[in-house]
């Protein structure tokens, strides 16, 4: 899955970028307070994208 697709999904579900790290971006869900790292690669494996969505308590992509 493209990273941009995942980031759009996170934004649509109310998450925001907390900060940028060296190789990861930290995204936060303000409703739950959970923070999850998203790698800064152009492609993110589908399994990892599902894990990120689950940890942030938002719906999975497709």
pLDDT tens-digit profile, the chain (62 residues): 999 999 999 999 999 999 998 899 999 999 999 999 999 999 999 999 999 999 999 999 87
- Please report the pLDDT score of residue 62 as a whole number: 72
- Quote the crossing angle between the two packed helices 46-55 and 3-12, to the nearest 10°: 20
Bridge partners of 35, per DSSP, are 28
- Please report the pLDDT score of residue 47 as a whole number: 96
Q: Kindly report the number of other CB atoms within 10 A of residue 49's CB atom.
A: 21
- Please report the pLDDT score of residue 50 as a whole number: 96
- Please report the pLDDT score of residue 42 as a whole number: 94
- Please report the pLDDT score of residue 55 as a whole number: 96
């Amino acid at each position: 899955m493209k990273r941009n697709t995942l980031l759009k999904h996170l934004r649509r579900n109310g998450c925001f970028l907390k900060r940028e790290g060296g190789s990861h971006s930290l995204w936060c869900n303000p409703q739950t307070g959970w923070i999850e790292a998203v790698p800064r690669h152009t492609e993110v494996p589908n399994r990892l994208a599902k894990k990120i969505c689950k940890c942030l308590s938002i719906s999975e992509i497709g």
